[in-house]
């Protein structure tokens, strides 16, 4: 019953709040640390965390990671917080700047450019301090991937806007998994899986409260926040979500974006029922 | 995910608070109603509730009840809130007054009188309005069963005091189950079982808070309340607890206190691993 020494990394975006709503209340002794998805990936890799909500791409790359919970950050169609803003129709974009906070969405845009938009743009690294609006306006790139709270806030401000969750859905008909709870194999997590399940359940019972608080603190429209949490983001790692994750892994592996051998939990799903490799 | 129309009955004693701590917070739409154990039994029987924390004796008597959760009110030795107060050593008691709020503890004292104390007292019904201290002092009976918050408050005020949980333990070496979550078979309970599990988990994370609030509102010693919740009451229906429950059922059935055919869930445990009847 004790997880006193466990260090758990959580994402500081709105989409994560329902997953972690009850976390400290259920397990006051957990050491919870918040960061951007890409930071969490580094911290877990460096051994500064035991468990973290990591970008699914990071999970793909680590054969020593296991999944600890059946909760995740998923979209099934439009997600509204993983966007490509563009000054031109995407089919004509010659350069795309990537979000420094992201790993998975940066990989997703690469997959989509090849398999859905049929373009081969130049990839531009953006630094943490670059405002993506300014980068775009100054012509630093034709298009820019923006994720999380920043994407919610920037929506509607550029001529072309593509929702990467929706584009994935058009390509595959499947949900897209953005982040999963990963644990280094062998770490003693006690009953953290159940704590995470109960935490999500508490969060789902308080979605409106979470949305309204976020709307206030991020200066967003409360209705947008409520719709976002209730309809855009899904928190259960369902079989269809696993199927979407498996397909994304295969595409990333094919394109050399991640290693070609999946972590064990994923390998298991890639064989029946989701077909061999 | 919806249990909007479910009517859930909970006991208003301190021992129940950890089980239901997160209930309304996890499922705001549940219609929760509190009462004495014996009241909950009548309400569930009358169809005024769908699920209730009922006295285990009531559960024994209803072949149409199922168990909905692996949480319960159990003791493993001394419980402090199910007491027999007596003016004489119990071996010399000729009359015992029963607690009108109780079903299970009244049955337990009958089992203990026969199998542990070897006495055959007269059973005196006490009404809801009779103060058990006054009944005892005025000689309305030699001894009196008192349960719940009233027992915690009365402790230490009579010459002889017996803890029924401890006496059961001396008799059998097993835990005693006082109350279980029962549901009428066929009732649609959605994911209430998981809600109850998460509710208990939240309660266990807040035992000190619950104890301190109860100490204030019931004017009891905070240390007593903390010890009571942390050490006296157990909330998991473990295999040993089920074994204790099965043995109590057999004794009650033998003595004609309950029907001789157990409800289906219990019947299952009475066969191996706990031995046939």
Cβ neighbours of B26 in A, within 8 Å: 201-202, 205
Q: Please indicate whether, in this complex, the C-beta atoms of B25 and A1 are within 8 angstroms of each other.
A: no
Q: Please indicate whether, in this complex, the C-beta atoms of B201 and A198 are within 8 angstroms of each other.
A: yes
Name the residue facing A26 among B1, B27, B201 (closest C-beta): B201
Quick: pLDDT tens for A64-116.
999 997 899 999 999 999 999 999 999 999 999 999 988 999 999 999 999 99
Q: B181 with B254, same domain?
A: yes
CB atoms near residue A140 (< 10 Å) = 15
Q: Please indicate whether, in this complex, the C-beta atoms of A202 and B198 are within 8 angstroms of each other.
A: yes
Cβ neighbours of B201 in A, within 8 Å: 26, 194-195, 198
B197 and B208 in contact (C-beta within 8 Å)?
Answer: no
Q: A26 with A95, same domain?
A: no
- Identify whether B2 is part of a domain: no
Q: A86 with A165, same domain?
A: yes
Test mutation, A69, A198, A209, chain B, max B CBs within 10 A: A198
Range B151-161 average pLDDT? 92
Q: B183 with B265, same domain?
A: yes
Q: Please indicate whether, in this complex, the C-beta atoms of B204 and A1 are within 8 angstroms of each other.
A: yes
Mean pLDDT of chain B: 91
Q: What is the pLDDT of residue B32?
A: 94
Q: What is the pLDDT of residue A272?
A: 55
**Domain end point (choices B120, B153, B172):** B172
Please state, in angstroms and rounded to a whole number, the distance separating the CA atoms of residues A58 and A261: 13
In angstroms, the separation between the Cα of residue B192 and the nearest Cα of chain A is 11
Question: What is the dihedral sign for C-alpha B59, B41, B161, B17?
Answer: positive
Q: What is the pLDDT of residue A3?
A: 55
Q: What is the pLDDT of residue B277?
A: 40
Please state, in angstroms and rounded to a whole number, the distance separating the CA atoms of residues B195 and B1: 10
Quick: pLDDT tens for B24-71.
989 988 999 999 888 999 999 999 999 999 999 999 999 999 999 789
For chain B, give the percent of residues with pLDDT over 70.
96
Name the residue facing B205 among A28, A201, A206 (closest C-beta): A28
- Which of A155-169, A180-194, B189-203: highest mean pLDDT? A155-169
Test mutation, B205, B209, B230, B238, chain A, max A CBs within 10 A: B205
**Domain end point (choices A137, A155, A172):** A172
Could you tell me the two tokens for A109?
């845009």
Question: What is the dihedral sign for C-alpha B30, B35, B36, B40?
Answer: negative
Q: B100 with B233, same domain?
A: no
In angstroms, the separation between the Cα of residue A198 and the nearest Cα of chain B is 5
Report the residue of chain A nearest B194, measured CA to CA. Answer: A198
**Residues near B70 by Cβ (< 8 Å), separated by ≥ 6?**
B197, B236, B237
Name the residue facing A25 among B194, B197, B202 (closest C-beta): B202
Cβ neighbours of B194 in A, within 8 Å: 197, 201
Q: B61 with B183, same domain?
A: yes
Name the residue facing B25 among A195, A197, A205 (closest C-beta): A205
In angstroms, the separation between the Cα of residue A237 and the nearest Cα of chain B is 16
Test mutation, B26, B192, B198, chain A, max A CBs within 10 A: B198
Name the residue facing A205 among B28, B201, B206 (closest C-beta): B28
Residue in B50, B45, B162 with CA at minimum distance from that of residue B105: B162
Q: A154 with A196, same domain?
A: no
- For residue B118, give the 3-state DSSP assignment: coil
Name the residue facing B201 among A28, A194, A205 (closest C-beta): A194
Residue B21 has pLDDT above 80, yes or no: yes
- Identify whether B277 is part of a domain: no
In angstroms, the separation between the Cα of residue A5 and the nearest Cα of chain B is 16
Question: What is the dihedral sign for C-alpha B55, B59, B64, B67?
Answer: positive
Test mutation, B195, B201, B208, chain A, max A CBs within 10 A: B201
In angstroms, the separation between the Cα of residue B230 and the nearest Cα of chain A is 13
Question: What is the dihedral sign for C-alpha B228, B230, B235, B237?
Answer: negative
Q: What is the pLDDT of residue A128?
A: 85
In angstroms, the separation between the Cα of residue B237 and the nearest Cα of chain A is 16
Q: A167 with A121, same domain?
A: yes
- A187: confidence class by pLDDT, cuts 50, 70, 90: confident
Q: B113 with B250, same domain?
A: no
Q: Please indicate whether, in this complex, the C-beta atoms of A195 and B204 are within 8 angstroms of each other.
A: no
Residue in B11, B17, B6, B20 with CA at minimum distance from that of residue B48: B6
A-B CB pairs within 8 A amount to 35
**DSSP conformation letters of A155-209:** TTSSSEEEEHHHHHHHHHSS-EEEEEEEEETT---TTHHHHHHHHHHHHHTTHHH
Q: What is the pLDDT of residue A276?
A: 45
Q: B166 with B238, same domain?
A: no
Q: Please indicate whether, in this complex, the C-beta atoms of A25 and B198 are within 8 angstroms of each other.
A: no
Q: A52 with A107, same domain?
A: no
In angstroms, the separation between the Cα of residue A26 and the nearest Cα of chain B is 5
Q: Give chain B's domain count.
A: 2
Q: Please indicate whether, in this complex, the C-beta atoms of A195 and B201 are within 8 angstroms of each other.
A: yes
Report the residue of chain B nearest A194, measured CA to CA. Answer: B198
Q: A68 with A203, same domain?
A: yes
Tokens 């200066």 sit on residue: A219
- Identify whether A269 is part of a domain: no
- Identify whether A67 is part of a domain: yes
- Identify whether A133 is part of a domain: yes
Q: Can you give the CATH number for the domain in which A216 is found?
A: 3.40.190.10
Residues of B with a Cβ under 8 Å from any A Cβ are 1, 22, 25-28, 194-195, 197-198, 201-202, 204-206
Quick: pLDDT tens for A2-41.
455 799 999 888 889 999 998 998 998 899 999 988 899 9
Could you tell me the two tokens for A205?
């019972």
In chain B, DSSP finds a helix count (H) and a strand count (E) of 13, 11
Residue A160 has pLDDT above 70, yes or no: yes
CA dihedral B65, B69, B71, B75 (to 10 degrees): 30
What does residue A75 show for φ and ψ, rounded to 5 degrees? -130, 150
**Domain end point (choices A146, A172, A198):** A172
Residues of A with a Cβ under 8 Å from any B Cβ are 1, 22, 25-28, 194-195, 197-198, 201-202, 204-206
- For residue A30, give the 3-state DSSP assignment: coil
- Identify whether B142 is part of a domain: yes
Structural domain harbouring A211: 7-75+175-241
- Identify whether A50 is part of a domain: yes
Range B160-184 average pLDDT? 96
- Identify whether A251 is part of a domain: no
Quick: pLDDT tens for B89-100.
999 999 999 999
């Amino acid at each position: 019953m004790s997880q006193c020494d466990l260090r758990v990394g959580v994402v500081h975006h709105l989409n994560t709040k329902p997953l972690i709503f009850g976390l400290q209340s259920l397990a006051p002794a957990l050491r919870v640390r918040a960061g951007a998805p890409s930071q969490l990936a580094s911290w877990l890799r460096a051994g500064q965390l035991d468990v973290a909500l990591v970008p699914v791409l990071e999970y793909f790359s680590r054969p020593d990671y296991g999944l600890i919970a059946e909760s995740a950050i998923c979209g099934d169609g439009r997600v509204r917080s993983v966007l490509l803003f563009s000054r031109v129709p995407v089919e004509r974009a010659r350069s795309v700047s990537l979000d420094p906070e992201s790993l998975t969405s940066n990989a997703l845009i690469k997959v989509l450019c090849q398999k859905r938009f049929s373009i081969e743009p130049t990839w531009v690294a953006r630094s943490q301090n670059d405002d993506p609006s300014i980068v775009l306006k100054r012509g630093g790139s034709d298009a820019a991937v923006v994720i999380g709270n920043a994407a919610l806030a920037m929506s509607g401000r550029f001529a072309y806007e593509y929702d990467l969750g929706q584009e994935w859905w058009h390509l595959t008909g499947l949900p897209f998994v953005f982040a999963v709870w990963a644990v280094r194999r062998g770490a003693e997590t006690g009953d953290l899986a159940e704590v995470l399940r109960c935490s999500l359940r508490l969060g789902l019972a308080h979605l409106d409260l979470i949305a309204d608080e976020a709307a206030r603190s991020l200066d967003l429209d409360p209705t947008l926040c409520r719709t976002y949490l209730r309809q855009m983001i899904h928190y259960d790692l369902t079989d269809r979500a696993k199927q979407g994750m498996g397909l994304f892994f295969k595409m990333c592996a094919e394109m050399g974006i991640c290693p070609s051998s999946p972590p064990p939990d994923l390998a298991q799903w890639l064989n029946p029922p989701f077909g061999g490799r």
